[in-house]
Amino acid sequence: MTALFGKTKRMITIAFIATMGACSDDSNQPQPATEYVSAEAYLKEIGFTGSVLIRKGNIDVVRSGFGMADKVNNIQNDPSLIYRIGSVTKSFTAAGIVHLKRDQLIENFDQPLSDFSPDFPLGDQITIRHLMTHHSGIPDYVGSVETFAEENNYYFSSEEILDIITENIEENGLDFSPGEFFSYSNSNYLILGLLIEELTDISYQEYLGQKIYTPLNLLNTGRGPDTIDGVERAKGYKESLEVDTYPMPIAFSAGEIESTVADLEKWGDAMMTDYFTPEEKETVLAIPTGQDGVNAPGAGWFTLNMGDQIIYHHGGDINGFTSLLVLIPDSKGMIILLSNEQNKGEERNQILEAIMQNEFKISN
């Protein structure tokens, strides 16, 4: 797992020292001009583009597409279409790790990485749980690797990215001692995906297929293609321009999955019922902080107090797309936003707040 791959690795490792996470400048998001009338009217007014499910219990508030899925061919967004979901992938990866324990391929979530890769730098200090909850101190790789790949037309494998991560730790250490702080890092989930492959002797996606997709009948969920094609997929856009090919091995188990509203609804319902045992839920779904608006990191999910309600959620940002999956257990509610526009994180937050206030009646 720590073999070198020459000059290219050295160059990108140097760039990694000054790594920057993917960021979005969406401070000028449109604000509604009138009072909230309905969820559908609100989404149209702010110009949301993508597909949405807002559900309270078994009743749909909205299940609809908004705007264009393919501007060239004049195809409207529709909930039946497939979208890249970015970091919502992490909820599936975390479940894959739970299945490793069920399959007795790991003993517990507090095992150190050194149990599986003796050469991993500081692996005796970093546990599986640290990776699952972003407490490892391992720097994020995405910004630097994406930039290097684009500028040098280099196609990285996930294993090469792991080598970049490990050499950076060897040369520069961790950002903090494992367990000391929370710091969101895609590196954690890339390592978890490779751990799944190492311990199962099958691919990450094959394992998720066996353990999650097939049992839950998720028919349109899996690794997204590097180049979006086919009428079943929404095209991705950035500033109204269709995005180019994105090398999915960069995202891998931190963000490579594509899905539909219907499949994510099944996944959300599984989370809110008995997919995890009570003991497993203690790892996956964090205890709420009790402070309004303050996230508690679980494994592939964040727990958030919004007024008098507790929600579990994760968002995703990837080339051409912005996503959000929200579970509202008290009302068996769900919010799914699959936007085929990039850098819409502020809009995503705005929508969540508006929907929770007006449809789920949060109160302080």
Q: Residue 106: which CATH number?
A: 3.40.710.10
Cα end-to-end span (Å), the chain: 50
31 inside domain: no
> How many C-alpha atoms does 267 have within 13 Å on its Cβ side?
33
Contact 47, 30 (CB under 8 A): yes
170 inside domain: no
8 inside domain: no
- DSSP symbol at 292: B
What is the chain's alpha carbon radius of gyration, rounded to the nearest angstrom? 20
pLDDT at 18 over 70: no
Classified as helix, coil or strand, 318 is strand
What pLDDT sits at residue 33?
A: 58
Per DSSP bridges, beta strands 257-259 and 295-297 are unpaired
Contact 191, 131 (CB under 8 A): yes
Please report which confidence band the pLDDT of residue 343 belongs to, taking 50, 70 and 90 as the band edges.
Answer: very high
For 103, 162, 265, the CA distances from 275, given in Å and listed in that order, are 15, 31, 14
pTM of the complete model? 0.92
Residue 161 C-alpha from the chain's centroid: 18
Residues pairing with 84 in the sheet: 258
What pLDDT sits at residue 293?
A: 86
258 inside domain: yes
In 10 A of CB 180, how many CB atoms? 12
For 301-321, the pLDDT digits (tens) are 999 999 889 999 999 999 999
In 10 A of CB 216, how many CB atoms? 15
For 162-185, the pLDDT digits (tens) are 999 999 999 999 999 999 999 999
Share of the chain above pLDDT 90, in %: 88
**What is the CA angle 302-317-204, rounded to 5?**
75
148 inside domain: no
Q: Averaged over 210-218, what is the pLDDT?
A: 98
Contact 222, 233 (CB under 8 A): no
For 64-105, the pLDDT digits (tens) are 999 999 999 999 999 999 999 999 999 999 999 999 999 999
pLDDT at 12 over 70: no
Rounded Cα gap, residues 255 and 92, in angstroms? 10
For 24-64, the pLDDT digits (tens) are 344 445 566 568 999 999 999 999 999 999 999 999 999 99
What pLDDT sits at residue 11?
A: 44
Q: Averaged over 246-259, what is the pLDDT?
A: 98
What pLDDT sits at residue 75?
A: 97
pLDDT at 263 over 60: yes
Per the structure, the count of domains in the chain is 1
323 inside domain: yes
Rounded Cα gap, residues 247 and 229, in angstroms? 14
What pLDDT sits at residue 35?
A: 86
pLDDT at 253 over 90: yes
288 inside domain: yes
Please report which confidence band the pLDDT of residue 361 belongs to, taking 50, 70 and 90 as the band edges.
Answer: confident
Range of the domain at 318: 38-132+183-358
Residue 69 C-alpha from the chain's centroid: 21
141 inside domain: no
Q: Averaged over 214-236, what is the pLDDT?
A: 97
Whose CA is closest to 306, among 292, 326, 294? 292
Average pLDDT score, the chain: 91
